[in-house]
Chain A
Amino acid sequence: MKLDPSIIARIQFAFTVSFHIIFPTMSIGLASFLAVIEALWLKTKKPVYLEIYKFWLSIFAMGFGIGVVTGIVLSFEFGLGFARFAQLAGPAIGPLIALEVLTAFFLEAGFLGIMLFGLHRVGPKLHFFATCMVAIGTVLSASWILSANSWMQTPAGVAIHDGHLTVVSWRHVLVNPSWLYRLPHMLTAAYLTASFMVAGIGAWYLLKGKHQHFARRTVSLGTAFGTVLIAGQVFIGDILYGTMLKHQPSKMQAAEGFWEKQSQSPAPYYLFIVPDQNNQRNRFQLGIPYLGSLWLTHSLDGRVEGLKNTPVQDQPSMGWVFYGFRTMYVIAIAMFALASASLWLRWRGKLFSTRWFLIALAWMTPSGIFATLGGWYTAEIGRQPYVIYGLLRTADAVSPVPAGTLLSSLIAFIVIYSIFFTAFLVFVIRAIRRGPTEMVEFVPSGSLKRALRPKIIASALGPEPISQ
């Protein structure tokens, strides 16, 4: 069997970026959550906020570390798998990634140590300042990366002469047409991820009858933030949908599952399709009547544009884009429903005692991660067959290396990342099972065996930090 290097390169990048995106999404959201919690602790002096801060700080630290390491790999992969892309896009993308390092990474590196280890070593206000700087650093990092990625979606401010790309306007490269909407969309996704994660773990404790005080406060905070954020996210998402429909119609055509240039009237909203890309049709489709017209054309009988409006050679894979988009959208609807229910239950005073709600909230703990992955698959696969939309096709961007080389590095990534992920899950599950009342103090021992069994100090939340 002959392996196609472009397919292996794409699978490799898809795997590593899918793994990577989980961790920045969590750390962007958790960093800001921690800043809010520390501010509440400084303002109210209530020990429960310090308890929440310490519990989530350990999970944030682990996620942050894996996020940084796996992010660096992506930069190297530009050379490993997509050297021709790096060669062409370097003048535009390179400075943006360098600026991410110079601004965000330096800021985070400078203050992360204080945030993680300085709670008992520096004053509370300086520590809060460090937490805020790390949170700002994560936002800056997302801004630069989203600017680079949005430029690949909607390239602007460049000219190509004799196969060489020249930047003619940095302003247009940075503030390209989709960046202004994609950045808030991604940031809100990260904050939502953290909100539902925090609320979900709190709900799990309430269901188990453990750590009641901590759990009630986190469920209350998580659902309050989540409610405001999901409404904003739905609004931003709709504006972004309109922007992408204008700049990348093929992506949105694939996302809705219609093939014909004009759908039937009224158009259903498809929930499930079995697309046949070769024959340009769906083998099977299941949808809600009228809802497609209502949602997508804002009328009861509007027609929706299908993927046949795009030439076959320029079409993305409908199945991936459709299900990526549906995953994100269905989770957003579930979040909106749960957030609305939380308002009702809060009003009725039953937020912590309604079992079905707590079960649903606990199940929604990782929902933000799945929604983010769905959104990224929509964005990245929907841009295909281009790596820089309209400028460079993915097949022309691949490195001139044998498929076997790419395959062996892909296998290495899968093995190493599986170890990373297992370690992360073991750590997080242990931390959750242990709960907030017992804090883990890591004592350098020089022994890997002991490092994996950290010393537990039951009375870690002593009077010293609380009385500050």
Chain B
Amino acid sequence: MRFSKILAGTTAVLVGVFFFFAIVGVFGLRLAIAGLAVFVLGAVVVCVAFPTQGSES
């Protein structure tokens, strides 16, 4: 349980760092635009598809 939590946390951090590096253009402008599009679309999908508990009135 503990190991899986650490693994999940590490993976999440690595994915976040990859997206950040991609968006700031470390891998070039095309990947920056692609990274931005994927991140924003992903964020919109998560926010729409997973309504937060108790947020609806």
Contacts and interface: CB of A to CB of B under 8 A. Distances in A.
Do A and B bind?
yes
Among A220, A231, A339, which residue has the most Cβ atoms of chain B within 10 A?
A: A231
Interface in B1-44: 12, 15-16, 19-21, 23-28, 32-33, 36, 39-40, 42-44
Nearest to A239: B25
Given A224-B47, A298-B27, A333-B20, A349 B52 contact: yes
Nearest to B46: A343
B24 A234 contact: yes
B43 A227 contact: yes
B22 to A, nearest CB: 10
Contacts of A234: 20, 23-24
Interface residues of B, number: 28
Contact of A336 (B12, B20, B55): B20
Given A238-B32, A344-B12, A213 B20 contact: no
B19 A352 contact: no
Given A227-B43, A234-B23, A346-B47, A216 B28 contact: no
A16 B42 CA distance: 41
Interface residues of A, number: 34
Nearest to A337: B16
A341 B46 CA distance: 12
Given A228-B43, A228-B44, A340-B12, A346 B23 contact: no
Interface in A321-370: 333, 336-337, 339-341, 343-344, 346-347, 349, 351-352
Nearest to A350: B53
A238 B25 contact: yes
Contacts of B47: 220, 224, 227, 343, 346
Contacts of A232: 36, 40
Q: Is the interface of B mostly helix, strand, loop or mixed?
A: helix
Contacts of A228: 40, 43-44
A224 B21 CA distance: 21
A76 interface: no
Which of A213, A339, A340, A344 gathers most chain B CB within 10 Å?
A340
Contacts of B25: 238, 298
A232 B36 CA distance: 7
Chain A at the B interface: SS class? helix
B52 A351 contact: yes
A351 B55 CA distance: 10
A295 B15 CA distance: 17
B16 A349 contact: no
Instruction: Point out which of A217, A235, A346, A347 has the most chain B C-beta atoms below 10 A from its C-beta.
Output: A235
A429 to B, nearest CB: 26
B26 A295 contact: yes
Contacts of A339: 43
Contacts of A341: 12
Given A298-B26, A343-B43, A343-B46, A235 B53 contact: no
B28 A298 contact: yes
Nearest to A346: B50
B56 to A, nearest CB: 8
Interface in A198-233: 212-213, 216-217, 219-220, 224, 227-228, 231-232
Contacts of B42: 343
A48 interface: yes
Nearest to B12: A344
Contacts of A266: none
A341 B47 CA distance: 13
Nearest to B56: A46
Contacts of B23: 231, 234-235, 238
Contacts of B40: 228, 231-232
Given A213-B54, A337-B16, A346-B50, 7 more contacts: A224-B43, A231-B36, A231-B43, A238-B23, A298-B25, A298-B27, A336-B16
Interface of A: 46-48, 212-213, 216-217, 219-220, 224, 227-228, 231-232, 234-235, 237-238, 294-295, 298, 333, 336-337, 339-341, 343-344, 346-347, 349, 351-352
Closest 4 CB pairs of A and B: A340-B16, A224-B47, A227-B43, A231-B39
8 contacts: A216-B55, A227-B47, A238-B23, A294-B26, A298-B25, A333-B20, A343-B46, A346-B46
